[in-house]
């Protein structure tokens, strides 16, 4: 396990339509969550950076899940514009040249995470996209490219993390979405999911959790319950 504070290992996916709703939910969660992911839905609200600054002022860490995917020069410019805004993570898609452009412009504090295979995709989806390989092979290939390109880590389902830890350098950060608190049954658009204990037993560094917290009767209680599971898992 890397030297990461246990309570920072839970990243809450702030998937809500407005910054007003995001601030209210963050206030409700309080110290139960210290790390937030804000993505494209909030980007389109028009107050993305105001929300980022609001969270930083409250000593929260922020993961800008913007999945940059464009020509390398454009991705380089986007990452360069973001690097001094105080975010901890940003995501990029694409080939080696795109990831290299992001890594070369990330500065000293922003960490770049390469997306391997979205947890909403399964074997049939890869066939539709024209990938003639299994998911494990594609995740491994993408992870190796990320590391060789200078990225700090990857986004990967917890299902593939054991192979990443076996065949890719241990220093690679692994952030896993598609986490469920009780069982590993797919919910909504997430198809490749694992539980909290399984994610950390498999070697994840961080987990991203959205709906199980957001849609709970008490989001704060749900977040605290996950924090307890994480503390037990990383201490094991």
- Residues with Cβ within 8 Å of residue 100, at least 6 apart in sequence: 72, 149, 150
* 61 is a catalytic site residue: no
What are the tokens at 65? 């899940």
Tell me the C-alpha distance between 208 and 24, whole Å: 20
Greatest Cα-to-Cα distance within the chain, rounded to the nearest angstrom:
46
Catalytic: which of 37, 67, 83, 106? 67
Tell me the C-alpha distance between 159 and 168, whole Å: 15
Tell me the C-alpha distance between 175 and 89, whole Å: 10
Tell me the C-alpha distance between 26 and 134, whole Å: 38
Taking phi over 0 as left and psi of -120 to 50 as alpha, with beta for the rest, 33 belongs to beta
Go through the chain and tell me how many residues it has.
236
Give the active site residues: 67
């Amino acid at each position: 396990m890397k030297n990461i504070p246990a309570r920072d290992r839970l990243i809450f996916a702030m998937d809500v339509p407005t910054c007003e709703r995001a601030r209210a939910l963050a206030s409700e969660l309080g110290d139960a969550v210290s790390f937030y992911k804000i993505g494209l839905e909030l980007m389109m609200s028009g107050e993305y950076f105001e929300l980022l600054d609001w969270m930083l002022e409250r000593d929260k860490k922020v993961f800008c899940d913007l999945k940059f995917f464009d020509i390398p020069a454009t991705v380089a410019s986007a990452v360069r514009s973001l690097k001094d805004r105080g975010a901890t993570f940003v995501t990029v898609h694409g080939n080696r040249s795109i990831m290299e452009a992001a890594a070369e412009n990330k500065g000293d504090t922003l960490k770049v995470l390469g997306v391997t295979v979205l947890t909403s995709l399964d074997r049939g989806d890869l066939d539709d996209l024209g990938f003639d390989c299994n998911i494990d092979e594609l995740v491994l290939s993408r992870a190796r490219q990320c590391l060789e390109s200078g990225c700090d880590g990857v986004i990967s389902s917890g299902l593939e993390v054991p192979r990443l830890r076996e065949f890719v350098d241990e220093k690679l950060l692994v952030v896993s979405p598609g986490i469920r608190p009780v069982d590993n049954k797919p919910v909504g658009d997430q198809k490749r999911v694992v539980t909290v204990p399984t994610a950390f037993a498999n070697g994840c560094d961080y987990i991203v959790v959205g709906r199980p917290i957001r849609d709970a009767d008490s989001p704060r209680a749900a977040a605290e319950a996950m924090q307890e599971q994480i503390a037990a898992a990383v201490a094991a």
